[in-house]
Amino acid sequence: MPTSAQRLASKRAQREANREAWRNDPRNRNAHNFAVRAEVKPVEPVLDEDVGALDLLREIMRDDDLPLGRRLRAAGHVLRFELPIAGAVGMPPDQVSNSSAYRFLVGVVRSGASAEHKQAAAEILAVFENERPVRTNPDELVEARLRLIAMINSTRRAELALSGHWPVPPGSPRWWLSSDDVFDADGLVSSPACSESTSSIAEALDRARALDPIERKRQMDERRQRLLEVTAHGRDDTSWRCLLTAEPERKTG
């Protein structure tokens, strides 16, 4: 008759055999989930001293130990800040490299994830890979134009200050734009370099923080140059520009 120690050892062996059999059982989804996590590679983290809501969502998206459903929800929010709507139209997925969330979602679609998870990822991507009709709101267009004018005037004022001509000397040519001015704004409102004109300040800051510092500076310089190039039609809007290169007057006494 087996001793108590032998019976205990037999139970332990049987328990381990049962566990091994369950690990290899096709009905066990754990092995499948581990394989999916291995296919959906984690994205390299973006180091940032300030951690905000967007950074936390990126951490959730990168964490391959979390349920895939949570990671997909986080990626959907991150993608809104990293890529404009319909920003991937006509582009091969492998060439849309400026968005970590986009790459993650494409990886889910191509992986062995469940049909539900692949569909969820595809539904998110569809908004960014297909064109859609845009309803035009006249009030929003007016507000966007006023914001653009404010941005142009702010950029001009900053350049005048850097050149040493702020406040502008009395009698100087008019340097600012008004809502009555007519100027060419094609591409400015929808340009990524001037995207602040059509989005909230918070969204603009989140997008800027997501960029590499060198790329961030390049975009800022491009935005400043494009805003400075805007010129009103039908009146003199060029004479004031001589102040940008002229030596400031020295105050005496």
Number of residues assigned to the chain: 253
Query: Cα separation of 144 and 104, whole Å?
Result: 33
Mean pLDDT of 12-32: 75
Q: Are residues 96 and 170 in the same domain?
A: no
Please report, rounded to a whole number, the percentage of residues in the chain having pLDDT higher than 90.
13
Query: Cα separation of 39 and 44, whole Å?
Result: 15
Q: Which two tokens stand for residue 107?
A: 């990886």
> Where is the domain boundary, 79, 100, 129?
129
15 assigned to some structural domain? no
Q: Are residues 115 and 164 in the same domain?
A: no
For the purposes of burial, counting CB atoms within 10 Å of the CB of 73, is it exposed (0-12), middle (13-18) or buried (19 or more)? middle
Contact 127, 82 (CB under 8 A): no
Query: Cα separation of 54 and 81, whole Å?
Result: 9
DSSP helix/strand/coil, 42:
coil
Q: Which two tokens stand for residue 147?
A: 């914001």
Q: Is the peptide bond before 167 cis (omega within 30 degrees of 0)?
A: yes
147 assigned to some structural domain? yes
- Residue 16: pLDDT over 60: yes
Q: Which domain holds residue 43?
A: 31-129
Report pLDDT for 69.
Answer: 87
Q: Are residues 84 and 116 in the same domain?
A: yes
226 assigned to some structural domain? yes
- Residue 158: pLDDT over 90: yes
Report pLDDT for 231.
Answer: 92
> Where is the domain boundary, 99, 129, 159?
129
Backbone dihedral angles phi then psi of residue 237, each to the nearest 5 degrees = -125, 25
What is the pTM for the complete model shown? Answer: 0.43
198 assigned to some structural domain? yes
Count structural domains, the chain: 2
Q: Are residues 125 and 174 in the same domain?
A: no
Q: Are residues 192 and 146 in the same domain?
A: yes
Q: Are residues 157 and 110 in the same domain?
A: no
DSSP code at position 106: H
